[in-house]
Amino acid sequence: MTPSIAVLAVLSVAPTCLAGVINFDSITGPVALTNQYAPQGVMFNQIELTGQFATSVAAVSPPNYATPFYSNANPGMLWFVDPSDSSIAAYVNSVSITLNGYNNVGGWFDGAVIDAFDPTNVLISSQTIQPTSGTNYGSMTITFTGQVHELEFTNILNAGRLGILPFDDLTFGAATDVPEPSSLLPLGFTLIAFFRVETRRRRSWTLKCARQNAGGPTA
């Protein structure tokens, strides 16, 4: 194996698990979501699992759904981890949620700015969902791609009134562990050594060519 191929082999990381779908029906609600779905590789904060408000919520896969802003307007978050160890951060290359439809029977939904972040907390992309306006509508699936580690939901109040933003069928690709900074140190030393050897080899080759062109010894 050549040095360049060896470096590429070190850089490649195998996925930790297969793709998954969470429809939030395996748990009885209402309940605040935290680590209940850690075995599937997903953690939650400020997001509730519930089946309430069934007349207003046109659920995609009843009876339950998930929602931020259930009891306050704090940002809701979900993020990906290694299913075998929730202390190890992970990312997926694709994640989708299906926003439940709305039936105008007296309730309302809030809107949100949904941001996708990579493992270094760099924003990948955003999507804005407006609050309900009183018009019925069906479900809508939104998708984020890239090295997605976290989704964050920032509230957009509906005329100053706190409401829910129900979503279902959280669908995501295979998760890949995020390397710890300490584990990157040996790779860094390997790369430095490789580039030093490569620089010396190129320098030696340049000198050899110069000597050949000048008609001098090449050994």
Instruction: Kindly give, in sequence order, each residue whose CB lies less than 8 Å from that of residue 13, ignoring residues fewer than 6 positions away.
Output: 176, 177, 179
More confident residue, 11 or 57: 57
Q: What is the pLDDT of residue 10?
A: 36
Beta strand 76-82 pairing with 42-45: antiparallel
Q: What is the pLDDT of residue 59?
A: 87
Check if the beta carbon of residue 65 is closer than 8 Å to that of residue 100: yes
Q: Are 75 and 150 in contact (CB under 8 A)?
A: no
Residues 194-202, mean pLDDT to the nearest whole number = 52
DSSP character at residue 142: E
Across the range 9-26, mean pLDDT stands at 69
- 54-86 pLDDT tens trace: 999 998 999 999 999 999 999 999 999 999 999
Average pLDDT, the chain: 83
| pLDDT surpassing 70 at residue 206 | no
- CATH T-level fold of 15-177: Jelly Rolls (2.60.120)
Residue 29 has pLDDT above 80, yes or no: yes
pLDDT digits (tens, 9 = 90+) for 124-164: 999 999 999 888 999 999 999 999 999 999 999 998 889 99
107 burial type by CB count under 10 A (0-12 exposed, 13-18 middle, 19+ buried): middle
pLDDT at 198 over 90: no
Nearest to 24 by CA among 57, 56, 55, 2: 57
**Contact present, 190 and 10 (Cβ < 8 Å):** yes
Q: Quickly state the pLDDT bin for 199 (edges 50, 70, 90).
A: low
The yes-or-no verdict on residue 6 having pLDDT over 50 is no
Measure the CA–CA gap between 164 and 148, rounded to whole angstroms: 24
Instruction: Write down the pTM of the prediction.
Output: 0.76
Q: How far apart are CA 95 and CA 148, in angstroms?
A: 7
Q: Which of 84, 99, 89, 98 is nearest to 120 (CA)?
A: 89
